[in-house]
């Protein structure tokens, strides 16, 4: 199926927040928080998710405790528990972010499958191996091989979404006659996304041990992975 118009849809996917009618009243029901308080609470909640995403990306879900995440963010443990009563709830919030990232990639699918240059630009903007969403996805994806990982199903589904987007791109390229004979779009999509995740791990392991700058190496590697599937004459077109 085409990625156009798709959504990251499952019973666990975050649902859109219903918007109010815009009507106002002169008084709030007793005990209801003011908009300012709600905004502040939401801001702190988002701040906690930001910090947890960084910790999970670097240390994994199992390697990060709520106390360590609290310390990383700079709030008290009790303050953390006010917003997230357990680590599983915090993981849900972090994976919600990854689903939003995947949805943004789905929304751009028609643009990405236009030509080789559009896909390469998408790799920079959506799938850069050094970007936090991709580092986080790589770590949680690897951890979720464990059957008792609380994010196992959602992470597997996220990987399939990204693979589907890239498969859709290669399917379009094949229909345009841009790919080498015998190229399987599904394999090309899986291989490219596997390389994205592989390079995200490499950025945290091999890259720090290198003595000279390799800032653009991941993107060059991804470009070479893409070019494996394109006809030679297409490599200088975009």
Q: Determine the pLDDT at residue 36.
A: 45
Q: Determine the pLDDT at residue 4.
A: 53
Place of tokens 């080789």: 116
Within 13 Å and on the Cβ side, how many CA atoms surround 91?
Answer: 24
Q: Determine the pLDDT at residue 43.
A: 87
Q: Determine the pLDDT at residue 167.
A: 98
CA atoms of 166 and 187, how far apart (whole Å)? 10
Q: What residues are paired with 179 via a beta bridge?
A: 230
Q: Determine the pLDDT at residue 206.
A: 72
Helix 116-125 and helix 217-227, axial crossing angle in degrees, nearest 10: 150
* Fold topology of 94-234: Tetracycline Repressor; domain 2 (1.10.357)
Average pLDDT of adjacent 10-residue blocks, the chain of 238 residues? 55 35 39 46 87 97 96 93 94 97 97 97 96 97 95 97 98 97 98 97 75 71 96 76
**Three-state DSSP state, 67:** helix
For CA atoms 54, 58, 64, 70, give the dihedral sign: negative
Q: Determine the pLDDT at residue 220.
A: 92
Domain locations in the chain as residue ranges: 94-234
Q: Determine the pLDDT at residue 177.
A: 96
Residue count (the chain): 238
Q: Determine the pLDDT at residue 143.
A: 96
Q: Determine the pLDDT at residue 21.
A: 37
Q: Determine the pLDDT at residue 235.
A: 78
Q: Determine the pLDDT at residue 57.
A: 97
Supply 10's token pair: 């499952």
Do the Cβ atoms of 176 and 11 come closer than 8 Å?
no
- Alpha-carbon dihedral angle through residues 6, 11, 12, 14, given to the nearest 10 degrees: 60
Q: What residues are paired with 230 via a beta bridge?
A: 179
Supply 205's token pair: 């392991």
Closest CA to 167 of 224, 232, 112, 238: 112
Number of H helices, E strands in the chain: 10, 0
């Amino acid at each position: 199926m085409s990625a156009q118009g798709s959504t990251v849809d499952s019973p666990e996917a975050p649902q859109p927040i219903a918007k109010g009618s815009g009507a106002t009243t002169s008084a709030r029901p007793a005990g209801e928080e003011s908009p300012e308080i709600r905004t502040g609470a939401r801001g702190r909640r988002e701040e906690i998710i930001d910090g947890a995403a960084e910790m999970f990306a670097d240390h994994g879900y199992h390697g990060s405790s709520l106390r360590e995440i609290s310390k990383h963010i700079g709030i008290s443990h009790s303050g953390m528990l006010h917003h997230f009563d357990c680590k599983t709830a915090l993981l849900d919030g972090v994976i919600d972010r990854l689903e939003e990232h995947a949805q943004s990639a789905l929304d751009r699918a028609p643009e990405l499958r236009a030509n080789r240059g559009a896909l390469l630009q998408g790799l920079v903007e959506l799938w850069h191996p050094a970007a936090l969403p991709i580092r986080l996805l790589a770590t949680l994806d690897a951890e979720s091989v464990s059957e008792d990982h609380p994010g196992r199903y959602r992470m597997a589904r996220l990987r399939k979404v990204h693979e589907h987007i890239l498969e859709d791109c290669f399917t379009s390229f094949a229909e345009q006659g841009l790919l080498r004979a015998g190229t399987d779009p599904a394999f090309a999509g899986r291989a490219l996304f596997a390389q994205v995740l592989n390079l995200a791990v490499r950025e945290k392991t091999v890259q720090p041990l290198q003595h000279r700058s390799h800032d653009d190496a991941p993107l060059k590697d991804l470009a070479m992975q893409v070019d494996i599937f394109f006809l030679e004459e297409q490599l200088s077109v975009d």
